[in-house]
C-alpha cells in the first residue's frame, strides 16, 4: 500500500544559497538562507547557524495564527 504524504506548504519553504569555493574545502559552509513567504533572511557560516535559523523561523510560525505570516522585521 502506498503511503500518502501531505502537500508541501509555501509557508514552510526556505531558499538556501550556498557559496561555492574554498569555504567547502575547509569544512565551513557559507551562505544565506531565506524564508520564502516572509522574506526573513540570514547569512550563515556553518551548518548549525543554518539550522538554527530554520528551526527558529518554524517555531515562530507555530506561534502565529494560520493565516498570519511573519514580517521581515519580526524576530
Residue 71 reports pLDDT greater than 90: no
pTM tops 0.75, yes or no: no
Cell numbers 509557508: residue:
11
Q: What is the pLDDT of residue 1?
A: 44
| For range 63-73, the mean pLDDT | 65
Q: Which one-letter DSSP state was computed for residue 12?
A: G
Lowest-pLDDT choice from 9-23, 26-40, 51-65: 9-23
Nine-digit cell string for 57: 523561523
Task: Kindly indicate the confidence band of residue 73, based on its pLDDT and cuts at 50, 70 and 90.
Answer: low
pLDDT greater than 90 at residue 14: yes
49 sits in which H/E element: helix 47-62
Write down the pLDDT at residue 10.
84
Residue 9 has, within 13 A of its CA and on its CB side, a CA count of: 8
Amino acid at each position: 500500500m502506498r503511503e500518502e504524504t501531505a502537500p508541501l506548504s509555501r509557508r514552510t519553504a526556505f531558499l538556501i544559497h550556498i557559496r561555492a569555493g574554498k569555504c567547502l574545502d575547509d569544512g565551513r559552509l557559507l551562505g544565506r538562507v531565506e524564508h520564502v513567504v516572509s522574506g526573513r533572511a540570514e547569512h550563515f557560516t556553518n551548518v548549525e547557524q543554518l539550522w538554527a535559523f530554520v528551526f527558529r523561523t518554524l517555531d515562530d510560525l507555530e506561534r502565529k495564527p494560520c493565516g498570519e505570516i511573519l514580517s521581515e522585521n519580526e524576530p
